[in-house]
Amino acid sequence: MANRDVVVVGASAGGVEALAPDTSIVVVATSAGGLNALTHVLSALPPDFPAPVVVVQHLSREAPSLLADILDRRCAIAVRHAVDGEVPKPATVYIAVRDYHLLITASGRLALTHSELVHFVRPSADVLFESAAASYGDQVIAVVLTGAGVDGAAGVRAVKRAGGVVIAQDKETCESFGMPAAAIGTNGVDEVLGLDDIAPALITRVGPLHRAS
């Protein structure tokens, strides 16, 4: 994977080093068919969802993105573009900025970087997932939604090594099954769910994680 030094924030030579955060975090990756999938999942989350949600959607690197604005109008939970240096807060969805990798630093802040493409894309799910695993350890819930390619598979492995949970969208409800299939192929996916079942699973899983943190 290109630019590995960018994504091992918070990791030690012996493996993942968690920071014992005071909340869990949900990280989501999607590509082709992502607007519909994100709308289904995020619109079903309550406005007081007790964890931040950080989203990487593969987008054109040239055209302006209205994704955050569109989703914010459709969802009860707040949706906005990620800001470099911001601390992710519960009940907020942070969308990756066009043509920048989005990652989480060892101090738990969001960071944007214009470093090299990963799997020919920027932003990359692997960058987000690996950095989240390094910073949040077993408090991470990673979700792989519809999309082509294999981006996210390496990140799924990192999340599982850290003790986190991985959910993948099932083939029947995907517009493109490439990314979920690659995630499932790692043998690191805990649940394969239809699109309508993902938000309820997140609500169920985040509660116990949040109380245990």
Query: From the candidates 81, 101, 119, 151, which is the catalytic residue?
Result: 151
How many residues are present in the chain? 213
Query: From the candidates 24, 40, 58, 131, which is the catalytic residue?
Result: 58
Q: Which residue has the tokens 């989240």?
A: 132
Closest residue by Cα to residue 142 from 155, 151, 123, 154: 155
Phi, psi of 17 (to 5 degrees): -120, 105
Examine the residue annotation and report whether 58 is marked as an active-site residue of this protein.
yes
Examine the residue annotation and report whether 151 is marked as an active-site residue of this protein.
yes
Query: From the candidates 24, 31, 135, 176, which is the catalytic residue?
Result: 31
CA distances in angstroms from 9 to 107, 116, 146, 189, listed in the order given: 9, 16, 27, 23
Q: Rounded distance, CA 48 to CA 94, Å?
A: 15
- Give the β-pairing of 140-144 and 78-81: unpaired
- At residue 109's C-alpha, the angle toward residues 103 and 114, to 5°, is 35
Q: Just list the catalytic residues.
A: 31, 58, 151
